Amino acid sequence: MAIPRRVSRLLLLTGAALLILLIVRLLPAHGGGYISSRVIPQRPRVFEGFDPVNPKQFHPATSIKPLPTGSPRKLPRVQAPDEAFKQTPETEKRRQAVRKTFERSFDAYRKYAWMQDEVTPVTGHGKDTFGGWAATLVDSLDTLWIMGFKNEFQQAAEAVSHLDWGHTDSTAINIFETTIRHLGGLLSAYDLSGERMLLDKALELGNMLYAGFDTPNRLPGFWLNFREAANGQLLAGTADPSASPASLCMEFTRLSQLTGDPKFYDATDRVTRFLERVQNDTLLPGMWPTVLDFQHEEAHDSQFTLGALADSLYEYLPKMHALLGGLDDTYERLFRIAMNTAEPHLIFRPMLPGGEDILFSGDYQATGATKLVPRSQHLTCFVGGMLGLGGKLFANETQVTIGEKLARGCGFAYAAFPTGVMPEIFTLMACERRDMCAWDEQAWAKHDDEKLPRGFVNAWDPRYLLRPEAIESIFILYRITGRTDLQDLAWQMFEAIMKSTTTQYANSAIADVRAEEEANKLDSMESFWTAETLKYFYLIFSPPNVISLDEYVLNTEAHPFKRPS
């Protein structure tokens, strides 16, 4: 029986309308009515034998440790009293400037890299660096919410809810990076917004990441290799960065708190117990080396730092104390011992012609003739904020003072270079004593380099990667002290970053902070630019109730988790 022409046309028009509606829903909206025409990449399935939704456990835990129970302890206040903060027209102007920068960066991602991991800020393309699961989008969810982009947040949350962890271009994923960026981003966005679909998506990802702990001793490796996971062949590493398995506890604990399933907390608590067992048996007793043997549960390496490879291991100790409401004193104990060791062995005052009373965190070589290596990193700039937070939580004002000197040291390093931005890794001349530190012109002459500020021995890695650690510590110390000159320092840093990194589309990492040529840009904008750096700049110019440090604790990717009340 033939279909009448009118009915046929109606069916055709209806089908076309539904197709257009589907296409519109799949494409991102842009401020001002723009809709991207980019084709979202289609990704292959992960190794066919691996089920990302319900991974098979070959070495299941014989027991599951529950979360600590009881009423949370009343912890000391972190932030200065509210009356210490004044929101002036100038600070509001600065805050809006940061917000506009974020909007421009996120719009570039939305236009040129939607559902990919990153946008290339010089050439305007998309690229995948973290499994192709829209790292910048997930990482930016809570920034969208905090900065008041509620419509954009809803669009982003809807897009994120359709991510499929079962499809990726990667044969293995970095457990640490996926945890802090993706799992942390989902959990904080849920904590802020209450959008249930974000918690559901976090639970999906948590179940997949839990497979990384399916090793004979239940400690994770650095990678979650899908083929090995499918065949029960995963092993903990023998020389893995100590920070990687040791910096999963905040995200896994928060997932257990929100879902009521203790298996995630139990998984990372096993790492904590390993750290506890070996803390005083290392070559620098009290601290953990940069790499650890998680497979044999040993710690024999001779390199120690608060920077790359080890950083967030230490950062998470006071933050876990706050996240658990002080109900497990392990984290306070480990932190006190570690910082009592780090402070005399790794933290130094630089020799400077102006005699500035500031500090930096260096490296320690346990088997070296000269054990302190006065080489610092942008990554170690987080230490000031960590000591400020830990000092307040554990009633140690000396640590708060040291933390402020470290934070100001990083601000000094920014201003010292021609771009107004500090390098990734650099070496300074160290004072023998902190209380007496006279400038030695002859000592400087041995290292004199006209491209370097006086007091700096080298810029071992002269890049600036849009990192957040310096502004992170300055923000935390501002909230702790209420000192407005820290806001001025932050604004000086922000203006310098904008001058050196702004591109046609967004902001780019630069190759050399010692020069200001246009060709200096590296065409890279990692997701932490919108997740961390701009968030901290925004928060330092915001009222104190916007992500209060007494209500939230931020993971190492600046994702705020609610503290128990």
Residue ranges of the binding site for Ca(2+): 556
DSSP 86-108: ---HHHHHHHHHHHHHHHHHHHH
Half-sphere exposure of 310 (CA within 13 A, CB side): 25
How far apart are the C-alpha atoms of 456 and 429, rounded to whole Å? Answer: 6
Using CA atoms, how far residue 448 sits from 423, 442, 445, in Å, is 18, 10, 5
Q: Where are the alpha helices (DSSP H) in 72-195?
A: 89-112, 135-146, 150-160, 175-177, 184-193
Residue length, the chain?
565
Question: What angle do the packed helices 397-416 and 484-501 form, to 10 degrees?
Answer: 30
Q: Of 242, 254, 184, give the one whose Cα is nearest residue 563.
A: 254
Tokens of 503: 């591109």
Q: What is residue 261's DSSP assignment?
A: -
Element (DSSP H or E) covering residue 429: none
DSSP 8-state symbol, 30: E
Task: Extract the tokens encoding 329.
Answer: 């004193």
The residue whose two tokens read 């029986």 is 1
Q: Which amino acid is at 268?
A: T
CA dihedral 98, 100, 105, 111 (to 10 degrees): 170
How big is the chain by its Cα radius of gyration, in Å? 24
Active site residues: 177, 311, 424, 469
Kind plus residue range of the DSSP H or E element containing 444:
helix 441-445
Which amino acid is it at 403?
G
CA–CA distance, 295 with 230 (Å, rounded to integer): 19
Closest CA to 110 of 34, 170, 57, 179: 34
Residues 179, 359: Cα–Cα separation, whole Å = 31
Q: What is d(CA 211, CA 175) in angstroms, rounded to the nearest whole number?
A: 10
